[in-house]
Each structure stands twice: as C-alpha cells, then as structure tokens.
Structure 1
Amino acid sequence: MGQLALISGPVGCGKTEVLDAFADRAVRAGALLFSATAKRSGAEVPYDVLVQLFGAGTAPGRLRAQMDKFVDADLADPSGTQALRILYAELLAWTADRPVVILVDDVQCADHESLRELLDLVSRLRRASALLVFTQSDDENAATALVRAELLRHHHWRRIDLTLLSVEGVAALVRAQTDPARLPLSAAEIHRLSGGNPLLVRALLDDVRTADPRRPDSAFGQALLACLHRSSPETLAVARGIAVLGRPTGVPLLADLVELGQEQTRTALRRLESAGLVTGGDFRNPAGGAAVLAELRPEERSRLHQRAAELLYLQGASASTVARHLLQTGETRQRWTQRLLREAAEVATASDDLDFASDCLGLALESSPDDHERATALARLAGVVWRRNPVAAVRHVSLLIEPSRRGLLSDRQVTAVARSLVWHGMTGEAKEVIEATGRIGEAGGERRDAELGMIRRWLRSWHPPLAKMVTGAPRQPETLDAADLADERLLGAALLSEVLTRGAEDVVRRAEDILRGCGTEVDESTLEPAESALLALLYSDHAERALTWCDPLLAAASERYAPTWNARLEAVRGEIALYQGDLPNAERYSRAALDRIAPRGWGVAVGAPLATYIQATTMMGDLDAAGAYAKAPVPQEMFKTRFGLRYLYARGLYLSACDRWHAALSDLLTCGELASEWEMDVPSFVPWRGAAARLYLKLGDRDRAQKLAGAQLIRAKQGLTRTAGISLRAVAACGGTRGRLQLLREAVDVLHASGDRFELACALADLHRAHQATGERQRANAVFQQALRLATECRAEPLRRALLHQSSDEHAESIVTKQPNGGLVKLSRAERRVTALAATGHTNREIAQKLYITVSTVEQHLTKAYRKLNVTNRADLAAACMPTMADSA
C-alpha cells in the first residue's frame, strides 16, 4: 500500500537531514529513489520540481525520455499531457518489481504545477509499493494548505513534527561534536543563544572554536541568514525590521516599519520564535541582528533607518533613540532633526557617551542649511571634543572664529571660543573674537557686558598681556556689580585674579562659597570656577583647605569619561601636594596629568603640570627625570601666561641643582621681571626672590641676596604662613650669624603650622647647621633627628644626603635608640653602633675600619638589625630608625 509522510517543523531543525538519512536507508534497501528540493527561486518555473524528480540523471532512462518529451512539448499540446501520463504508468509499473520512494524537500516552495501533479501522483500510487515523503516548514501559504488538505484524504499517511532541542538535547549534540570541557560556553548558554535550533547550535560551536561569534560574517550569522531565506518573505521582512530597530518594540511599530499588516507581523514573529531565532521580540544572539543588517543593501538599510526614525519621533520616543537611527541614514534635511540631534547630544554628553554626542553634533552640523544652527552645533561639538582631546578640538575651534565675528554665537559660546583660543596659544585670534563681540554688543545688554567682564578677569589671571591689549569692553571688570558676579564662572575668575594681583580679602570664605556652589559633581559649568577657587586657596597659603575640596572633585571627575577634566584637576592636585611638601604625590599627580593629555594638548597651560613635575623631581634628586621635561619643547606663547612664571621658577630650581647658577639666575630674574610687569608679583605664587637670593650667595654677591630676601619677606603678608616661613629662611641664609637662630626658629614655627613638610625639613636643616656653628650639640642633635625624618618621609634625597654628610657620629648613634612608634629597639650596643653608621650612609668596609672590626662582623650585626627593625635594605633603614618628630626645635 502507498505510504505518505510529512516532516514539518521550523527552519533549521533538521528536516533535510532526516530526509537525507531516510534516502540513504532507502537506497541501501534497494528502493528506486527520486528526490527534489523545492526552492523559492524556482516557484515561478512551471514543473521545476517534477523535472528534478524524473528528469535527473539518476532516473531510469524510459522515465527521463518521457519527461523530456513533456518538457519539449508546448503546454497546450496534448502530446505533452500524454507523455506525462505514460511517465506515471511507467512509474507504477516499476513498483511491481521494487519499492519506489519519492522525496521532496521544502514542498511549501514548490511551483504550482509540480504541486498539482504531485498530489495527483499521490492518488495514483495509493495502492502501489511506494512511499512519498515531503518536508515543509511551519510557514503557512497556499501550498502547505493544499498539501495538508490532500493528505487528510489519504488513509496511510503520517506526520512527523520536529521541534527545537532542549538544554539536554543541546548538551548531547555538543558531546557528539566536541569536548564540552574545552568550550567557553556551557550547554545552557549555547541553548540560550541558539534557542535549541540544531543548525544554529552547530554554527555556534564552529564559531567558539575558530572565530568571534559576534561578527556578522560568523558561522552563526550565516546560518541564521540561511534560516531566514528559507522562510517566507514576510518572515524575512520582519527579521530585518527587528534588526533595524535594534530593540524589542510593539507589533504596531514593527508592522509600520516593514509595511505589513499587524496580523502578518504577529505570525512572522511567532515563526521566528518557534525557530529559536528571536525571543521577546529581539534576536537571541546579537550576531544575528548584525548579520541581517550587514546583508541589507546600503540604500535599503538607510531607508529603513530613516523610516524608523520618523515613526519613533511621531511616537514620542527619546531623542537618543531617534538619533541613533538618523545617524545610520548618513544625512537628514528635515528641520525637526536638528533640534533632536542637539538634544540627544546633550543627553549623551551628560552620561559621558562622548562618541555618540560627537556623531549627533557632526550630523547636525553637516545637514543643517541654517548658519546659526550650524554655528551652534559646531560650538557644542568643539566643547565635547575638547573634553576628550584638546588637540582634536583645535580644528573645530578654528572654524568658530568666523561665526564669532558674525555674531552667530551666544555670549557664553563666544567666551568659550575665546578661552579655547587662548588655551591653544592663538592669542591674535582670541583678541579679534573678543573685540568683535564688544563691537557687536555696543547696543547689546548687561548679559553681554558681564560676559566681556568675565573674559577680562579670566585673561587677567591667565594671559595678562592679552588682558591689557583687549579693548571694546563696555565696562572694566573691576566695576561689575554683585548681580553680574552671580555666575560662579565670574566669581572664580574674579577671586583668582585678585589673589594673583592686588591680593584678596576673606579668601577662604569666598573660595569655599564658590566650591560649595559647584557641588560635588564635575561638569562643564563647574570645572573652571572650581579650579579657580582651589588655586585661589592654594596661592593664599591654604593648601590644607584646598586639599579638602580637591580630593572629592578629583574622585567625582574620575567617574566621568572626561580626560581633560581629570588632567586639569590632577594638575591642581599635584600642585597642592607640592605646596605641602608631599613630593611623591606631587610627582605622581603631575605625571598623571601629562600622561592623560599629551603636552601638545595642554597648550599654554602645559606649564602648570610641567612646573610641578620638574620642581618635585628636582627636590627628590631625580635630575634625569626633571631634565627630560625641562628640556622638552614648550609653546612660546606660554611665557606670556601665568603658567610661564611657574615654569621659569621650576626650571630655575632645576638648573640651580645642576650647578648651572647663571642660567638658573636668568630664569628666576626673568620670572620676576614678568611678574612685576604683569602685577602678578605674589611670593605665595612664585617666591622667586628667595631662590634668586640663594644663587647670589653662591655667586658671592651677599648685598643683592639680602635685598631680594628682605623684599620677599616684606611682600609675605600677614597670614601667609608658608610664604613667610620660606622668606624668613631666605633672610636668615643671606644675613650674618647674628639673629640667624631667631629667624630660623620663627621660620620653623610658621612652616610647622603651614603643613609644608619639605620646607620645614629645609628650615630644620638650616637650624641644625646654625646650632652646630654655635656649639649647641644637644639642640643640634634634636633638630637633626627631626630634619632627617622629614627629609626621608618627603623622599627629598639631596636634603637627606646633605644632612647625613653633615652629621657627627654622636648624632648617628642617637637615631637608633627608639623605634618610630616610641617603643625601645631591641638592639645590642654593637648592633646599634653598626646600624647607626649604616643608616648615615657608611659602607660595610668603612664601618669595619671605623669600629676596628671585620667586614663579616659588620654583616652579621646588620643582618640581625634588619630582622629586628623589619627592614630589607639600607634605603628603608634610615626611615625605620628615625624617632617621631619633636613638637619644636
């Protein structure tokens, strides 16, 4: 009796494999096999499947001959129909000798003519020794409905439904193909990504063994495309819509995008889910969506993204969601898109997605026909790019010069452009922009006056020569009233300008009010005033207060993607550490700032981190590191800014440490001349006179040294404790022995209160020498201990070596009588004497000669002392042996 079987299931579930396996068994059993695969591309070719079955080379000759006659005859020719009837009769005759097996894969794709004849053949072979096996996917169409209706009339048929693999089924398939222990994915993860679709499981196994499964050309992606192309056109269209939208959406939006009815869309979604391709309205594996998008023609992909953007906009979707589709179109001319792109850029900037923000603003800039909109987008783009990389922002800032001249930017945008130009050393262009703004604003309003006042104050603290050159401001900055200064940007610029020039009253309160107003968040509006307020505190000798505010700001900045903000605050943090004598942190933070932004990106402001790094490494004795940066090229325009003053002072200290006294003096005197010319001669900012006085002493000119040191002390106003201490020490060094002790004691007192450990160590070292000169050995010894401990803590190696060189044996032995925590050191007298000499820099051989013992004995004593003091080398020995610093000298 004739048998029928229908193998059905989602695409990729193994229907073809089952059919192939059955074909192999049929051939081995001696059956006469006829097979064909229906394809969508052949659906319009009449009798395509029938020709595959009976016109192929594997068919018996008589059957092929009849098939050839049928194909050659005109469709209206009766001879063609006669040939087909003869073929069926021949086929029926074959069933008397051997079973006949007819296999058709993907019967739902068969051409209409072949399908009609196949169903007729089913009836003819009903009582013959024949078996017909069809496979069909779950896609519903006229062909599948016809096949099922005909089969229901047949008594001897069987339906075989294939389904997706379970997790256990996936695990079994994995074990059959590879060693699961060598895979980076578990069976459950493979099932999640593939949905249990056997075709996708195998493809995923290929990828995890050989390639990145996220790539659109991965085996998984290609397998998924194969599944889609074997599905209905509607299913493929819906899959493309899902890929374009990139996220689960409701059926109405998806249906509108692919221009299908909602019911058709729901049916297609069900088929995609039943095949394991999607879940919850989205692809299980991102590689699937990537593969679908990659296959789309560029113009079709752009069209779908444009339509998606319009539909989402009409639905009220977020600006960011709509903008992501607009970016895929490459261009947009509709007016609503300009505002939406700028809005999306603002949201992205606030959430630190600077790449997306830049893309949105770039598209807005390229596609807007309006000059004002283009200028606004360009200004915003320059700000976003500057936040990430100031070098890359130069091009955008240069393009903003002309819009600034034409009045196409807001007052605040013009101010930002001018400051960016100054940052990059484009002083002439900055002057032109500022003066053009002043001319445009002659009729212009208080807000514009306030912005011009702000830029004048800012220039006063940044670029004093340019501040004097700028004309056209309606009012001098000093005449701005309280209402004008309500903006924190104005307050910060004003306070720093006052501190650096004529001095400011009530600095701590005013600076902390500004910092309190900025809050703990760092953004474009708070960075500049916060930085100005921190420096105002620092240059007023309130380093501890500056540190209290700086660390939270730096921590907040580190959580944002803003390399420029981080670098600027790191530079300030390094400068604070320098003012506290914390040389390791001064070096670390300034180096971090220079590493985060290349020196070229710093523009004229590079002098700030460079000066801190050069000064800190010089004090630490690392002249190679200091020299590498002191010799690096810097922009010449920097020497017209306050950063040039700091740089000249730091380079002067480095050159002095290298014994290049005349070159050092030249840098320090140039620093002083510029500071005086710019009315920025504040010793708490750059105490150049004290450093120059010491150089004059070395050169034998005591008179000039005394004049400079005395002048600096006069300028060190009341309350500037650190600066007063530095100046007192300079005066003591330049004067005679008379009165030196008193000056140094005062210097020690005020420096102890200021918290600058390095300067305090230097003052204690000077006081130690003064006590030695007067024969006060006990006091000299007490001061020596304090100075040496501080120098060691600061890692001020030159100062530490100088102290050890000046120390006597009595001093050396006394330093190991107590541990740093005050507990007694459990060393024998012999061990203590050896350790004392080792801590002060003597070699083992020198110690042996000095104590009249063998080198081997010295080594034995040191080994025991290292163990008792819990140190491993001589570098740690001095620090471990120092007692805690006494409260006074």
Structure 2
Amino acid sequence: MALTERTDELSILEEMLSECRRGVGQLALISGPAGCGKTEVLDAFAERATQAGVLLLSATAKRSGAEVPFDVLVQLFGGGAAPGRLRAQMDTFVDAVPWTTPGDAAGTQALRILYAELLAWTADRPLVIMVDDVQCADHESLRELLDLASRLRRTPTLFVFTQSDDENATAALIQAELLRNEHWRRIDLTLLSVEGVAALVRAQTDTQHDPAPLPLSAADIHRLSGGNPLLVRAVLDDIRAADPRRPDRAFGQALVACLHRSSPETLAVARGVAVLGRPTGVPLLADLVELGREQTRTALRRLELAGLVTGGNFRNPASGAAVLADLRPEARSWLHQRAAELLYLQGASASTVARHLLETGETRQRWTQRLLREAAEVATASDDLDFASDCLSLALESSLDDHERVSALVRLAGVVWRRNPVAAVRHVFLLIEPSRRGLLSARQVTAVAKSLVWHGMTGEAMEVIEATGRRGGLGGPGGERRDGELGMIQRWLRSWHPPLAKMVPDPPQQPESLDGADLADGRLLGAALLSEVLTRGAEDVVRRAEDILRGCGTEVDETTLEPAESALLALLYSDQAERALTWCEPLLAAASERYAPTWNARLEAIRGEIALYQGDLPNAARYARAALDRIAPRGWGVAVGAPLATYIQATTMMGDLDAAGVYAKAPVPQEMFKTRFGLRYLYARGLYLAACERWHVALSDLLTCGELAVEWEMDVPSFVPWRGAAARLYLERGDRDRAQKLANAQLARAKQGLTRTAGITLRAMAACSGTRGGMPLLRQAVDALHASGDRFELASALADLHQLHQAMGERQRANAVFQQAVRLATECRAEPLRRSLLHQSSDEHAESMVTKQPNGGLVKLSRAERRVTALAATGHTNREIAQKLYITVSTVEQHLTKAYRKLNVTNRADLAAACMPTMADSA
C-alpha cells in the first residue's frame, strides 16, 4: 500500500531500530486521528524490520477485547510469529492463571518465566514488539506491557505502540509511564496536504492501471476528505464504483469506521452534528448529546484534526447521512426530538424545528401544532410543497383537537391540490364530515365546495354548503361573513355550474351590501364579473377586469390565481383577446417560476384559449396540450373541457383530424356537461365532427350546446357562437330557412362593440343571404374581424369574399382577396382552409402568386416555369400538370427543379408560403 507524506516517520522508526542494535531499548508512540494511517505506518515498518532479521511480535487491541484479561499479551506471545518456546510458556501462563482472580502467585511465576525466555531471545538479535491501538488494550495486558518495557529498556528491544488522539484514562496512563523512559519518542501523524492527496491519487491510479481522468481534482478530494488518507481512498473507491444508487457508499463506511475507532464522546458529538445538520455552537451541541461543554469542545477538535469536520459541520455532505444511518431508529428519533425541543426553546425558526419533528414521526406536545402549521406556510410560500405536506400531515396525525385537525386538513388539501388535484381528493373528501359538524369556517366551506365541484362531486358539495347554512344560522353571529361566502359560492357556481347555482339559497344579505373589506375581496369581484359577462353581459368590463388584475399583481399564489383567471376570461369573452394576452403573459411567466403544476396548467389553458381567439392555431394547440400534459385529464375534473375544447378546435382548424380525434373520443366526466366547460367541449366537438363530414352528430352537438346555453342563461355568442356553426351545417343540408333564423338570432344576441363576435355572426348571415345580399355583410365581417385580430376567422371571411367576387366575375378583386386569404391561412397553419382556397382558385389567381417575392421584387421565372409552379402550389400532381399544359412529366420536373432553386425551396410544402406576396392593405 502506498504511503504518502510518511517518510519522515518511517525514518525515525528505523533510527530507533539502529539504536536498539547497540543495546539501548527504545519505545515509540505513534499518535494521530483515526484514519490517518497509523496502522499503515506500523505495517510498513514491520515489513522493513522483518527484512532486517529482527524478531517481530505484534498485536492489535480491540474495544471488544478490552474485557478479556491478557488478550493482547496472548496475541503477542501466543501467536504464530512467536518462537515455539515462547508460545509454550504463554500456554503455561494461560493455564496457570485463574481468570477470576488475576495476579495470583501461579500467574506471576508463569510471567517471570515468560519474560526470562523473552530476555534470552534478545541476546541473539533485536526484538520489536508492536501493539496497534494500544489505548483499547485490556487493563491486565497494558499493565504487563508497561512493566515489560521498563524491564527491557537496557536490551535491544523496540516497543512501537499506536494510539488515537482521544484523551482518556488509558491514554493518560500510557503517557505517564512513557515519560519515565528516557529513550521514547512520540510520532504524531497529521492530515495530508493537497499535494499529498495528489500523490496518493496518482499512486492509487497506477495501482489500478486506470488511465481515465478523475472527475474530481486533488483539491476537490482534499476538500471532501480533509486529507484523511482513509477517506481519500474511500472517495476514490466511490468514483470508480460510480453507482448512482449509492454514490458515497465507500466514503460512508470509512467515515463510520473512523468514528467507531474514536472515543465514545467523539462518536456522540459526531452524531449530534449529524442530527443538527448545521453549525450551532458548543452549548446546544453539548445539551443535545448530554456532555459537558469542555468535553464537547474537545471532541469537536478531535473531529477537526481527523479531517471530518470543519467550522462545526461535516466537510462532506454525505457524512451526516452515513452517521444517521448508523444510528438505531429509536436513538435517532430521540435525538431529533431533543433537538426540536432545544431549538424551540432557543427561538429557532419554525422550519428548522419542524424538520426535526418530522424525523421523530410523532409529537403530542401542544406547541408543535402551531409550529408545524407555521413551517408549512413558509414552505408553501417558497414552493417546498413536499416539506409543507409533511408538516401538515404530521400535524394532522398527532393532534387531538378537532379544530386543529380540520385546520391542518384544509391546508393540506390546498397544498396537495397545487401539485396534483387527483391526490387532493381524498383529503377534500375527509372534510365533508367535519362540515356536517360545523367545524369549518365560512371560507373553508367555500374552498371545500369548489374542490368537490371541480371533481364532479356536486351532491357532496351541496351537502357541505347546506350543512354550513343550517348550523351557522344565517344572519346570526358571524352571519355577515357567512352570507358573503355563500354569495361568493353562488356567483362562482353561476359561471361554473349553473344548475348547481340555482340550488344554493340566496343569502339574506346580498354581496352588493357587504362591507368594504368584502367588496375588496378579489374572489368575489372576479366571480361576479365573469358571471355577468357569461349571462346578461357586463358594463365597463375592461376597466373592472384590469382593476382586478392590477390588484392581483404579477405574482401568482392561492389568493390571486382564481380572480386573475376570472378577469382574464371576462376580457376574452368580451372580445378583448389582445388585452387578455397582455395580462396573461406575465402571470404565466410568474407561475412557471413556481413549483405549482396546477397553477401552471390552468394559466396555460387560458393562454391556449386566448391564442384560439386570435387565430393563432399552433400556439392554441401547444398551450392546450401542455396544460393536459401537466395535469392528467382525471386531475382536471370537470374543467378538463377547457383545454380539451381548445385543442380539439385548434387541431381541427389545422386539419389534423387524427390528433383532434384522439381527444374528441377520450372519455370525459359526465358532470362536465352540466358546466360551462361542457358547452365549450360540445361546440369544439361539433366542429370536429363537421370536419369529419358527420353532419348529423355534429349538428346534434351544436344544438345540445345551444339548448344548455339557453337553459342556463349563458347564451353569449362571444363565448360559444353555436348558432353560426349550426347555420352553416343547415346550409350544407340545404335548409336555408333554419340557417337564416339561427344567424339572425345570433346577430340579435351579439352585444355592440364585440368586433370578433360581430364578424363571425355577419359572416354566418352572409352565407345565408346569397351572392348580392352577402357581399355587404361579408365586407362588414372582414372589417370587424380585421379589427378583432382573429387571423383565422379573418382568413375564413376573406375566403368567402373571394368566392363571391369570383361568382360575380370580379377577377381582379377576387385575386387580391385570394392572396390575402391564402397568406393568412398559411400563417395560421389552417391547412384545410388553404387547400380549399387553392383548389377553388383559377389558374390566373394561382399564377399571380408566383409573380412577386414577399419583398416585392420580381421572381425571375420564365412564363412556362411560372405556370407549372402555380399549378404545383395549388396541389396538382406532376402528371395532372402535364395533362393540363400538354407537356411531358419530364418537362414538368425540369421546370419545377429550376423554380425550386430560384425560390430557394426544397419541397411543395414550402412552395405556397414562398410564393406569397405581402398582404394587401384591403380587400
């Protein structure tokens, strides 16, 4: 084994051996912290001494043998290295000594004979007697060894003992006896330097024949090991093992071995350091391990000298875990319980104390309940949801007070909900019984009822609401707050679950009459505004919504999420998509910085819906899919209809019917069809089924959507323009009268100033009005949709206008509108609309697409190349082009090859986009 930075120590031992040869007895005491290489130095010297021809007798003292009399002496003189006559005398001594009363006359005589025999051996050659870890030797052996050292001090005998740095009675006795010997030397081993670590690493690498570079530098290894040779080798072993399941296995084993070879006080202090997990000072550590402060300070110094600790804490992060794993569970639990109590009395933070309480697994002291809930609040605010859940679970399990248990359970449900709504269900369900007993506050009732509605458990939600009303006595003590919460629930249900909202009794005190504090409650304002927008319409929506959003700020948390959601949707359903986007983006960015999958998913769903209203189909599908991936559909509960509807509608418009079909055919909660999300879902699925040419079932979905919207007084075209979509299906079936009635009814319900809604409705009316009557309506629709910013609906209206211009023979206008429509459809990736436009276009329109580049410069295509390219861009195959132009397929391929090079494209999918001119200013 390689020895590093130990040559001076070996030289001292060799000098002492030389002195022995001159008949002068020597005694060396090698001292140092555990793991610093005392045994390695002893072994290296033993090898050299043996080669020099000396008689070598050695023993290793163990703590386990400290209670066995003469254990070390038997190892020395009764072992295989001892000459036969010595072993025989040792056997005689063992047989002669009555172990119950050591030191009698027979034993003493046997020892005298043994020593005489040993003295005779020194006449022929030097004698070396080595004892490793002499401080662990049994008392009888130690007494005789020290006596023997005194007897042989004028003979060629070298005693070499190793001893740890720990100060105890045995070490003090040895030190006192050695001082009486004028020829003794103390050899202190210290930690390796960085250079010494580097040398040891090189030696180990050469031994292993491993040329691969290590991922850690010598300085890094020194920092982790403190320069303790045993720990340096352990770090190297872990690096070579590279086991991701146990990355510090060898280091942990070596560290624990060092500690068990130290004094009990040092081991106790190391365990205290591991339990506290951070530097805390000597007084707290001493109280924890129940030692005196001076003893604790000395033990810390020993740990630092051994390279295990620096600044009151372990050097290597793996150390604490290894020490704790070595403790029995009950001992570890007791230390954590005591640490929690001591830290609490010192005024430590709730989080610090709570981490120790969690390690105990249980606590019945009253102060711990408040502290655990406080720690959970801090952890929740800093997004440490696992720790918050653990604190609340322990508070729930250990409390004997019903109100405390309910408080912890409500908070736990909220924390779990933020991460996984499915996992929160069992906690919410457990709150139904406490609500029957009146243990929930009015605000807690609201939270529980909303959670139950989310998961479609409307019967249970109603039971919670009704039980609170019965037990609370509306209008009684606390009645104003209770009335406010009931008003809050009713408004919220009005926009979520209209049938259930009708079952909630009106509170005697309406929300409008609540005090200023309640009116400032964003939950109530947001729910009220969205409810108004979805039912009778609201006045001054932009100002009210933006006031709510300003009140929420740019931070997302449990108190701001829902008001912000309501305000964003109120803007969106008032045709203010651009304003909704302006407010949504920073909220989504803020949520992405928090560990709150549920919050992120809900805002992503809204962001996708905003993109849908803007005709940004790729982003609509992307955000909706992200929301569905972040929370499993089952976790969305009845609200799953929102991201599903956005994704189905966006992918249908893009022509990806396979992707839309996967979600359109997926099972959904039946309770969803009693919520506003069911309306959106039915509308989106109706559009998908229509795209699949399943007209009958598509119309059924749209009409069902309309019937429910009318029944719930949620018949708002800016939310679901079901009449316009149904009117187009009736036109497909040739029923113009019904189509006309639906379009007129939608126009009547469209509120003034809602540009997108007006544009969609005017387009539907134009479709029912014939060529002449439809032209002015379509022009109005185009103007409205251009102002609304919905590129898909604008492209659809332009496509209709293009058809009318063609039908009326207005080729130049048709061409201008065609180019705008195709460009918008391409930008939106509305492939079905783009294909429809290209197939409806004339050759002249198609050819005009390739006359200019987007920057207005002329494309240098020949007339023949331009004609071939135009037909290829509109979807014709090479064979169809050849037949149409009366040329060969080979000629078509040659023209296309040249056109691709000039247009800098490589396939037909890019051809149309590359040919698009800049959109004209107007139709």
TM-score by length of 1: 0.98
Distance 1:656 1:693 in 2: 12
User: Does 2:346 align with 1:323?
Assistant: no
Contact 1:344 1:360 in 2 (8 A): yes
Partner of 1:685: helix, strand, or coil? Answer: coil
Q: Quick one: which of 351, 371, 377 aligns to 1:340?
A: 371
Distance 1:707 1:187 in 2: 84
Mapping for residues 429-448 of structure 1, pairs under 5 Å: 429-441=460-472, 442=474, 443=476, 444-448=478-482
Contact 1:216 1:294 in 2 (8 A): no
Contact 2:730 2:738 in 1 (8 A): yes
Deviations 1:825-861 (A, max 9, x none): 3333333222222211122232333334443333333
Deviations 1:608-648 (A, max 9, x none): 01111111111111111111111111000000000000011
User: Does 2:278 align with 1:247?
Assistant: yes
Contact 2:541 2:570 in 1 (8 A): yes
Distance 2:319 2:89 in 1: 46
Q: Which moved more, 1:475-484 or 1:453-462?
A: 475-484
Letter in 1 for 2:170: A
Q: Quick one: which of 120, 129, 147 aligns to 1:120?
A: 147
Distance 1:857 1:345 in 2: 75
Distance 1:40 1:17 in 2: 20
* CA drift at 1:318: 0.8
User: Does 2:176 align with 1:149?
Assistant: yes
Contact 2:655 2:832 in 1 (8 A): yes
Contact 1:216 1:288 in 2 (8 A): no
Structure 2 counterpart of 1:777? 811
Letter in 2 for 1:87: L
Q: Quick one: which of 873, 886, 898 aligns to 1:864?
A: 898
Structure 1 counterpart of 2:419? 388
* CA drift at 1:798: 0.7
Q: Which moved more, 1:348-357 or 1:818-827?
A: 818-827
Structure 2 counterpart of 1:591? 625
Structure 2 counterpart of 1:375? 406
Deviations 1:414-455 (A, max 9, x none): 100000000000000101111112223321321111111000
Structure 1 counterpart of 2:530? 496
* CA drift at 1:160: 2.2
Contact 1:326 1:332 in 2 (8 A): yes
User: Does 2:583 align with 1:549?
Assistant: yes
Q: Which moved more, 1:535-544 or 1:118-127?
A: 118-127
Distance 2:82 2:322 in 1: 40
Distance 2:104 2:750 in 1: 118
* CA drift at 1:667: 0.7
Q: 1:258 to 1:447 in 2, by over 3 A?
A: same
Q: 1:90 to 1:79 in 2, by over 3 A?
A: same
Structure 2 counterpart of 1:282? 313
User: Does 2:355 align with 1:304?
Assistant: no
User: Does 2:56 align with 1:33?
Assistant: yes
Structure 1 counterpart of 2:189? 162
Distance 2:717 2:183 in 1: 107
Structure 1 counterpart of 2:599? 565
Mapping for residues 726-765 of structure 1, pairs under 5 Å: 726-765=760-799
Distance 1:827 1:4 in 2: 104
Deviations 1:438-485 (A, max 9, x none): 223321321111111000000000000000012263345566576532
User: Does 2:651 align with 1:614?
Assistant: no
Distance 1:248 1:821 in 2: 68
Q: Quick one: which of 489, 503, 518 aligns to 1:484?
A: 518
Partner of 2:558: helix, strand, or coil? Answer: coil
Distance 1:868 1:373 in 2: 76
* CA drift at 1:123: 1.4
Q: Quick one: which of 43, 53, 66 aligns to 2:66?
A: 43
Letter in 2 for 1:31: V
Root mean square deviation, CA, Å: 1.6
Contact 2:483 2:510 in 1 (8 A): no
Partner of 1:185: helix, strand, or coil? Answer: coil
Q: Which moved more, 1:408-417 or 1:637-646?
A: 408-417
Letter in 2 for 1:655: L
Structure 1 counterpart of 2:105? 78
Letter in 1 for 2:132: D
Partner of 1:182: helix, strand, or coil? Answer: coil
Contact 1:211 1:218 in 2 (8 A): no
Structure 2 counterpart of 1:295? 326
User: Does 2:636 align with 1:602?
Assistant: yes
Distance 1:426 1:794 in 2: 39
Distance 2:511 2:639 in 1: 23
Q: Which moved more, 1:671-680 or 1:694-703?
A: 694-703
Contact 1:215 1:290 in 2 (8 A): no
Deviations 1:727-779 (A, max 9, x none): 00000101222321100000000000000000000000000000011100000
User: Does 2:139 align with 1:87?
Assistant: no
User: Does 2:693 align with 1:659?
Assistant: yes
Q: Quick one: which of 683, 700, 725 aligns to 1:691?
A: 725
Structure 2 counterpart of 1:262? 293
Distance 1:375 1:603 in 2: 24
Distance 2:797 2:896 in 1: 32
User: Does 2:85 align with 1:62?
Assistant: yes
User: Does 2:653 align with 1:626?
Assistant: no
Partner of 2:906: helix, strand, or coil? Answer: coil
Distance 2:777 2:382 in 1: 55
* CA drift at 1:665: 0.8
Distance 1:125 1:662 in 2: 114
Distance 1:477 1:504 in 2: 17
Partner of 1:173: helix, strand, or coil? Answer: helix
Contact 2:487 2:506 in 1 (8 A): no
Deviations 1:698-742 (A, max 9, x none): 112111110000110111111011000000000010122232110
* CA drift at 1:173: 1.2
Deviations 1:42-86 (A, max 9, x none): 223332222221222432333333333433323252121121122
Structure 2 counterpart of 1:53? 76
Distance 1:484 1:269 in 2: 58
Distance 1:856 1:422 in 2: 66
Q: Which moved more, 1:56-65 or 1:578-587?
A: 56-65
Q: Name stretches of at least 5 consecutive residues in structure 1 with no aligned partner.
A: none
Q: Which moved more, 1:647-656 or 1:203-212?
A: 203-212
Q: Which moved more, 1:877-886 or 1:110-119?
A: 110-119
Partner of 1:739: helix, strand, or coil? Answer: helix
Q: 1:261 to 1:525 in 2, by over 3 A?
A: same
Partner of 1:139: helix, strand, or coil? Answer: coil
Deviations 1:207-245 (A, max 9, x none): 111144884871111111111111011100011011111
Letter in 2 for 1:471: P
Q: Quick one: which of 411, 424, 441 aligns to 1:410?
A: 441
* CA drift at 1:810: 0.5
Q: Name stretches of at least 5 consecutive residues in structure 2 with no aligned partner.
A: 1-23
Distance 2:361 2:734 in 1: 73
Distance 2:470 2:199 in 1: 81
User: Does 2:396 align with 1:365?
Assistant: yes
Distance 1:86 1:216 in 2: 56
Q: Quick one: which of 204, 209, 220 aligns to 2:240?
A: 209
Distance 2:512 2:640 in 1: 29
* CA drift at 1:271: 0.9
Contact 1:813 1:837 in 2 (8 A): yes
Partner of 1:54: helix, strand, or coil? Answer: helix
Deviations 1:103-159 (A, max 9, x none): 010112222222222111111111111111111111112222222233333232233
Contact 1:453 1:477 in 2 (8 A): yes
Distance 2:202 2:901 in 1: 58
Letter in 2 for 1:289: G
Contact 1:438 1:472 in 2 (8 A): no
Distance 1:90 1:560 in 2: 81
TM-score by length of 2: 0.94
